[in-house]
Structure 1
Amino acid sequence: MAINLDCSTCGTDNDVVLAEKLSGTQRKLKCEHCGNEWLRGEPAQQKIPLPSLQDIKQRFPKPGNVDPVKLARANELKGEFLRQEPEPVPNVAPYWAKYQQVFSAKGLAGVNPQDLKDFANSSVGANPGNMSVFNDAWNEMGADAGSQQVRKAVDYLLRGTSSLALEDRLTALITDTNSLGMKGFKESLLTKVLCIVYPDRYLTILKYTGTAGKREIARSLWGLELPDPEKVDWTIGRLILWSNDLLLALLGEGFQHQQHAAEFLWWAKDKA
């Protein structure tokens, strides 16, 4: 089949044929008279594959990134802190045991609404800060509607309704990308729920960044610069949980529990 194109070598178009279809609009043409071949059109643009969750996490700071001098100073402070006898806080263990039951699948269904409001305003074991936004929303909605929304948020956080990872469920509740979140029941309270339900897994530092957030502690004590949530497109849920894991790895053994470890971090932050 002839194509109305001139061969650049012999100047004829009578013997130009389609030799091969390539990607996009690009085609290879051939002149059967002289054998000349050439390309016409544009190739399809290659899609750059998106990084996987594991690829992104690999770029997050790691214990091996700490300067040896900073690490030595942090370990020195840890030794000094552990030589002190911590004062026991008698009401923490029973309080957390109560809310571990409250946040169980069975307990959450029948919890007294007042217990949920009290939890949001309690500093036992971990202080979530000013909860005026939550309290205003609760009072406006009423105890029944408010408690129902808190139950939805906690149940979604802990058990999920989809295949989303915990990091992404946490992000959805903080950023209100679904209908399961509760106004004012955000990062500090959601993190506190995780601390209570998984007491060996999460530090009682309830903010990623702030006056004494995980980001500020990592910078002050170990010289690590964690991502600024305002300048990266990593989700807040990933930053919260990955920074928790990083601090746990840096802390090492020797602490009685995660609250004891958090106390060390607050104590050591300004001494490093």
Structure 2
Amino acid sequence: MLTMFFSNLLLCRYFKKPLNIFLGFIPEIVFMFSLFGYLILLVFYKWTAYDAFTSKDAPSLLIHFINMCLFNYNDPTNKPLYAGQMGIQVLLVLIALACVPCMLIVKTMVLRRQHLWKRHLGTQKFGGVRVGNGPTEDEAGIMDHDQLSQHSDEGDEHSEEEPFNFGDVAVHQAIHTIEYCLGCISNTASYLRLWALSLAHAQLSEVLWSMVMHLGLSSRSGGGFFGLSIIFSAFATLTVCILLIMEGLSAFLHALRLHWVEFQNKFYTGQGFKFVPFSFESILEGRFDD
């Protein structure tokens, strides 16, 4: 999951979008590490703190994580894993909650401020005289003739861009924030579900062994050899059909969905060029020149 975040970071640096780094990448990765990164650390801590003899007394990490999000630390059936756990978990949840308005509100207001800044630059007059509701001298300083001419050229370049709509930007950012927060939970559950498939494969192999192959090996009759041959054929057929084909295809499709949906939705937008099928007629007519 870290790979998709750093892929997004590389794209932001490539397209020179520092705002997406400071108000997008950093709050997102802090939100992820505050909740689910901490959960991963608890998994490794539980592996090292409890062994085969003390595993019966080990607390449930699922209950711990639910109580952490609900600020419920009065559960006598689930004892703490380490000293000072309550304070650390409260701090992590507050940090994660603070990242949500940073992604939802701060980025939207900064985009609005940038738009107002560009619009107010057009109200400046040559000679350093400020008119209209533009930025103050403390914010922008006195602008000379060269700076204003440079901004006027930039304004001509951006004049063809779509107009800024604060409502659309706020709705888009709200959808992105909600989708990201819910996607973190969904992505973690999906990766855990892929790990659970391996446990299901182990259970199916035990069922096939105990219900099919064990019958042929436990036979003590004279025709047990022929019975074992038939049972082994059935065991091999079920193993190939169920474990290798059906469960293997299920794991493959699940991993493909994880890569296409959960992995790429953090950085891939697909806003490229419209696909145009190859055609000699279009080339001769000059349609591709546009």
Per the TM superposition, whether the score is higher than 0.5 is no
TM-score using structure 2 length: 0.20
TM-score using structure 1 length: 0.21
From the two aligned structures, give the one with the greater helix fraction.
Answer: 2
From the two aligned structures, give the one with the greater strand fraction.
Answer: 1
Higher relative contact order structure (alpha carbons within 8 Å, sequence separation ≥ 6) = 2
